[in-house]
Amino acid sequence: MSRHIQLTEHGKLKHFLTIEGLDKALLTEILVTAESFAGVSEHQVKKVPLLRGKTIVNLFFENSTRTRTTFELAATRLSADVLSMNIATSATSKGESLLDTIHNLEAMHVDMFVVRHAISGAAHFIAQHTAPHISVINAGDGQHAHPTQAMLDMFTIRQYKKQFEGLKIAIVGDILHSRVARSQILALNTLGVSEVRVIAPKTLLPAHVKNMGVIPLYDMAEGLSDVDVVIMLRLQKERMNSAFLPSESEFFRCYGLTEAKLALAKSDAIVMHPGPINRGVEIASSVADGPQSVILQQVSNGIAVRMAIMTMTLGHQGGTS
Amino acid sequence: MSKILINNGRIIDPANAADAIGALCIADGKILATNTPIADFTPDQTIDATGQIVCPGFIDLSVRLREPGQTQKATIKSETRAALSAGVTSLCLPPDTKPCIDSPAVVELIKDKAEAANYPQVFSIGALTQRLDGNELSSMLGLKQAGCIAVSNASAPLGNLLILRRAMEYASSHDLLLMYRANEAALSGKGCAHEGAMASLYGLPGIPVAAESIALAQALELAQLTGCRIHISQVSCKQSVIKIQQAKKYGLDVTADVAIHQLHLSENDIVPFDSHYHVIPPFRSDEDRHYLREGLLNGTLDAICSDHQPHDLDAKLGAFPETESGISALETLLPLTLKLAVSHKISLSNALANLTQKPATILGLQTGALTAGFTADVCIFDPELKWEINTQNWQSAGHNTPYWGQTLTGKVTHTLQRGRLLYTF
């Protein structure tokens, strides 16, 4: 169903909810389109008129500064009208249902919802129940998917590594609760990397993680050996309270990325993190700020990639020069 | 009372090992005789059952009616009507109504409403603990005297194993059957799907099989200790089937049922995020489903129930984990049982035993058979009739089934309860 709901009958993007069901050609098209937008931010006038007259509503049922901001910037640079709603503190806390909120906004003639929600499947649900002319972009739903983040990560990997074939990627940390990791795994495998490893204690790995096309490893030395890309995930502090982990310090000792551990990867390996980072918990400052880190480049790329996905879902192909 | 002759049907009566074309005579609400038309029997009404199957009315071990307390979902009237249209003439109502069935007054209320609806026999299952809080034993004897057929804590957890032990000791002192839904709440947590490949992929909070099998193992140990007659409700996984099989082998007085949809669907059949597949226990792996089917075939599992849980639209309208669990399943009970019989080459008689004779035995009821002198609870169905699940053909107030819009084979055409023809298709 994911396959069908987000594509038009001609195989074009209608919604962008998950990487699942999207083929290599489409993912590559997103990356190529994003490339054409990458220059826009460096122009003196940082705007192109592609979505002029369109109204985009950022519906954030869960707080996020970074993702919401890059979506706002992406929409603004495409000349769309943008409205950001922090629903976590407004309508639904007054008892309004998710669907009522959506229908009310629909009545204001919007063209796109960018949705973040704490429950897996929320973006699918909204896409299924919204008016047919509206596109929905998933900006993160529960532990399910965060496909725009995954695509900006793919964009960044491609920027530094040129091609996906032959790459070995390690994703480290709380895979179990990570929508980012789920989307990255799907995208990396679709784009044809040679190996995706996930490194974490079993408490932070999904029960059937092997079915997702990855190699689970419990030891950093083994896991980082010879990899081209190291992706660190954010560790939520509340994991200490429910017996997922004994302590932050033990997690850092075992799985925190230090210069010594990074030395096990290929010498030209890049270090990525979807942010926001916990310095000294999953990553040492010297690595986060070090020469192999591309963490801030990921943030910049996020705007171009989201511009690409917004234009593609709203039916405009290609970028601008 | 009127005399009814059901003629020319294929009478299948698992309890009496009967399977032949014949006539069934009913008078004064009782079965008169099977297969032998009585010469001086002058029926007030004759039902021609040519090409149809005549069998005992079905006995469903778990049907939520949503009344009292949740009449926005369904009512005793709507769901007993749905039960009749599904051939169900007796049903067991779990105690988690609102208020729950922990006092004779609630039992009486349900009895009155069911009688007013004039439909199938509704057997209340009494709450095992007061308010289903899992800590204080209910007045089980009073509940039994008011008409409760068994006791159960439904899906509410028990405070600890000592409570379960005491509950078993007390229930067995009064010869009450304890129906038990095995679930270790600490392990199932806020899970909404089987902890397997599907939940891993979609980031859904999982329920491991061990949440069921560990609780089951504990309950079997305590049943052994206390001598309590225990019935395991709606098992869902391989480990549970194996444990029940072992317990039976060593002579424990245990029975078990499985919900009809668990015999057909697995996690791999779930349409991503479609809340109609949200059910507890969740659809498990293909291997688990295989063991459930085998368990039914080899007699480890004793009965099929619908585990009917009708919902209003809003309950299923939301992102998967936020929706309420449960399937409106009464009306798919027969067609899905027939489908299983075909796919697994089970004789109709053996398949129907899981809906008639066997649940009657579990409950100790003198029904579920077409024995002369028994109450005339009879179901007549057309095993070949194809029907589409749509608003026109559906009786339950709950439209929440993953089978909605599909065409199933096998439809009940007549249902008689206590000799009264109460439903005709």
Q: What's the CATH code of the domain at B111?
A: 3.20.20.140
Whether residue B35 contacts residue B23, with contact meaning beta carbons closer than 8 Å, is answered with yes
Is the residue at A191 inside a domain?
Answer: yes
- Pick the residue from chain A with its C-alpha nearest to B285: A208
DSSP result, B241-269: HHHHHHHHHTT--EEEEEEGGGGT--GGG
Q: Which residue has the tokens 């005793």?
A: B76
- At residue B184's C-alpha, the angle toward residues B180 and B188, to 5°, is 120
How far apart are the CA of B184 and the nearest CA of chain A, in angstroms? 17
Task: Clarify whether residues A180 and A241 are in a common domain.
Answer: yes
DSSP B119: -
Task: Clarify whether residues A304 and A222 are in a common domain.
Answer: no
Chain A environment of B204 (Cβ under 8 Å)? 120-121, 143-144
Instruction: Give pTM, 2 decimals.
Output: 0.93
Chain B environment of A99 (Cβ under 8 Å)? 317-318
Residue B118 confidence class, pLDDT cut points 50, 70, 90: confident
Is the residue at B409 inside a domain?
Answer: yes
Chain B environment of A98 (Cβ under 8 Å)? 318-319
Per the CB < 8 Å rule, is A120 touching B321? yes
Task: Clarify whether residues B145 and B223 are in a common domain.
Answer: yes
Is the residue at B368 inside a domain?
Answer: no
Whether residue B26 contacts residue B378, with contact meaning beta carbons closer than 8 Å, is answered with yes
Residue in A144, A207, A208 closest to B203 by CB: A144
Alpha helices by DSSP H, listed for A192-294, are 220-224, 248-255, 259-262, 285-288
pLDDT at B143 > cutoff 60: yes
Per the CB < 8 Å rule, is A142 touching B321? yes
Q: How far apart are CA B37 and CA B15, in angstroms?
A: 20
Is the residue at A92 inside a domain?
Answer: yes
Chain A environment of B271 (Cβ under 8 Å)? 1
DSSP A51: T
Task: Clarify whether residues B301 and B381 are in a common domain.
Answer: no
| B287: contact with A, CB 8 A cutoff | no
Residue in B200, B317, B318 closest to A207 by CB: B200
Task: Clarify whether residues A68 and A175 are in a common domain.
Answer: no
Task: Clarify whether residues A127 and A152 are in a common domain.
Answer: no
Task: Clarify whether residues B102 and B213 are in a common domain.
Answer: yes
Task: Clarify whether residues B127 and B168 are in a common domain.
Answer: yes
- What pLDDT is stored for residue A2 in this prediction? 44
Q: How far apart are CA B58 and CA B50, in angstroms?
A: 21
Per the CB < 8 Å rule, is A120 touching B319? yes
Q: Mutate which of B195, B202, B267 to disrupt the A interface (most A C-beta within 10 Å)?
A: B202
Is the residue at B109 inside a domain?
Answer: yes
Task: Clarify whether residues B280 and B269 are in a common domain.
Answer: yes
- At residue B227's C-alpha, the angle toward residues B222 and B233, to 5°, is 65
Phi then psi for residue A308, to 5 deg, are -60, -45
The single-letter code of the amino acid at A91 is A
Two tokens, residue A60: 């954030």
* A-B contacts at Cβ under 8 angstroms: 78
Q: Mutate which of A144, A205, A241 to disrupt the B interface (most B C-beta within 10 Å)?
A: A144
Task: Clarify whether residues B201 and B350 are in a common domain.
Answer: yes
- Which uninterrupted H or E stretch holds B8? strand B3-13
| B271: contact with A, CB 8 A cutoff | yes
Whether residue A88 contacts residue A144, with contact meaning beta carbons closer than 8 Å, is answered with no
Is the residue at B392 inside a domain?
Answer: yes
Per the CB < 8 Å rule, is A212 touching B201? yes
Task: Clarify whether residues A80 and A141 are in a common domain.
Answer: yes
Among A184, A119, A122, A135, residue whose Cα is nearest residue A155: A184
- What pLDDT is stored for residue A4 in this prediction? 76
- What pLDDT is stored for residue A92 in this prediction? 56
Task: Clarify whether residues B392 and B335 are in a common domain.
Answer: no
pLDDT at B234 > cutoff 90: yes
Task: Clarify whether residues A180 and A293 are in a common domain.
Answer: yes
CATH of residue B21: 2.30.40.10
Residue that finishes a domain, picked among B310, B334, B363: B363
- Which uninterrupted H or E stretch holds A307? helix A295-313
Task: Clarify whether residues B103 and B45 are in a common domain.
Answer: no
Torsion of CA B16, B19, B25, B29, to 10 degrees: 50
- Pick the residue from chain B with its C-alpha nearest to A98: B318
Task: Write out the residue range of the structural domain in which residue B266 sits.
Answer: 57-363
Residue in A116, A117, A161, A179 annotated catalytic: A116
Per the CB < 8 Å rule, is B319 touching A122? yes
Task: Clarify whether residues A43 and A112 are in a common domain.
Answer: yes
Two tokens, residue A83: 């409205």
**Number of structural domains, chain A?**
2
Two tokens, residue A225: 């050996």
Task: Clarify whether residues A137 and A153 are in a common domain.
Answer: no
DSSP B177: P
- What pLDDT is stored for residue B425 in this prediction? 92
CATH of residue A235: 3.40.50.1370
- What pLDDT is stored for residue A108 in this prediction? 87
ipTM, 2 decimals?
A: 0.90
Share of chain B above pLDDT 70, in %: 99
Among B306, B353, B387, residue whose Cα is nearest residue B88: B306
Q: How far apart are CA A319 and CA A173, in angstroms?
A: 36
Phi then psi for residue B259, to 5 deg, are -75, 140
Chain A environment of B314 (Cβ under 8 Å)? 97
Chain B environment of A20 (Cβ under 8 Å)? 201
How far apart are the CA of A47 and the nearest CA of chain B, in angstroms? 36
Chain B environment of A4 (Cβ under 8 Å)? none
- What pLDDT is stored for residue B350 in this prediction? 97
Task: Clarify whether residues A116 and A215 are in a common domain.
Answer: no
Mean of pLDDT over chain B: 96
pLDDT along chain A (321 residues), means of 10: 75 95 96 92 82 94 87 95 79 67 88 95 94 95 97 98 97 96 98 97 94 96 97 86 88 96 97 94 96 96 96 68 35
Buried b (16+ CB within 10 A) or exposed e, B192-213: bbbbbbbbbbbbbbbbbbbbbb
- Pick the residue from chain B with its C-alpha nearest to A5: B272
Is the residue at A318 inside a domain?
Answer: no
Among B63, B70, B64, B136, residue whose Cα is nearest residue B103: B136
Task: Clarify whether residues A212 and A308 are in a common domain.
Answer: no
**B380 beta partners:** B54, B414
Task: Clarify whether residues B75 and B165 are in a common domain.
Answer: yes
Task: Clarify whether residues A74 and A93 are in a common domain.
Answer: yes
Choose the weakest-confidence range: B112-121, B292-301, B391-400: B112-121
Is the residue at A170 inside a domain?
Answer: yes
Q: Which residue has the tokens 């709440």?
A: B185
Is the residue at A305 inside a domain?
Answer: yes
Q: Which residue has the tokens 């075909």?
A: B342
Whether residue B53 contacts residue B383, with contact meaning beta carbons closer than 8 Å, is answered with yes
Residue that finishes a domain, picked among B317, B336, B363: B363
Residue that finishes a domain, picked among B313, B331, B363: B363
Task: Clarify whether residues B227 and B310 are in a common domain.
Answer: yes
Is the residue at B369 inside a domain?
Answer: no
Q: Please give the span between the terminal C-alpha atoms of chain B, in angstroms, as a whole number.
A: 23
- With an 8 Å Cβ cutoff, the interface of chain A facing chain B consists of 1-2, 20, 97-99, 117, 119-122, 124-125, 129, 141-145, 179, 182, 206-209, 211-212
Phi then psi for residue A208, to 5 deg, are -115, 45
Per the CB < 8 Å rule, is B319 touching A99? no
Residue in A125, A179, A206 closest to B319 by CB: A125
Respond yes or no: is residue A162 known to be catalytic: no
Task: Clarify whether residues B32 and B99 are in a common domain.
Answer: no
How far apart are the CA of A61 and the nearest CA of chain B, in angstroms? 13
Per the CB < 8 Å rule, is A211 touching B202? no
Residue in A10, A94, A162, A208 annotated catalytic: A94
Per the CB < 8 Å rule, is B321 touching A119? yes
- Which uninterrupted H or E stretch holds B349? helix B348-353
Task: Write out the residue range of the structural domain in which residue A171 sits.
Answer: 147-298
Respond yes or no: is residue A66 known to be catalytic: yes
Buried b (16+ CB within 10 A) or exposed e, B278-297: bbbbbbbbeebbebbbebbe
Whether residue B38 contacts residue B25, with contact meaning beta carbons closer than 8 Å, is answered with yes
Per the CB < 8 Å rule, is B320 touching A120? yes
- What pLDDT is stored for residue A242 in this prediction? 81
| B126: contact with A, CB 8 A cutoff | no
Respond yes or no: is residue A67 known to be catalytic: yes
**Number of structural domains, chain B?**
2
Whether residue B196 contacts residue A206, with contact meaning beta carbons closer than 8 Å, is answered with no
Reduced to 3 states, what is the DSSP secondary structure of residue A293? strand
Task: Clarify whether residues A177 and A138 are in a common domain.
Answer: no
Catalytic annotation, residues of B: 307
Per the CB < 8 Å rule, is A120 touching B208? no
Non-local CB neighbours of B369 within 8 Å, separated by 6+ positions: B13, B14, B15, B16, B56, B356, B357, B360
DSSP result, A185-247: HHHHHHHT-SEEEEES-GGGS-TTGGGGT-EEES-HHHHHTT-SEEEE-PPPGGGGGGTS-S-
Task: Clarify whether residues B11 and B122 are in a common domain.
Answer: no
Is the residue at B380 inside a domain?
Answer: yes
Which tens digits make up the pLDDT trace of B25-50?
999 999 987 656 667 788 999 999 99
Chain A environment of B206 (Cβ under 8 Å)? 206-207
Q: Where are the beta strands (DSSP E) in B35-134?
A: 45-48, 53-56, 58-60, 88-93, 121-127
- What pLDDT is stored for residue A1 in this prediction? 43
Alpha helices by DSSP H, listed for B130-285, are 140-146, 161-173, 185-188, 197-202, 209-226, 238-249
Torsion of CA B320, B325, B328, B332, to 10 degrees: 80
Is the residue at A41 inside a domain?
Answer: yes
Share of chain B above pLDDT 90, in %: 96
pLDDT at B176 > cutoff 50: yes
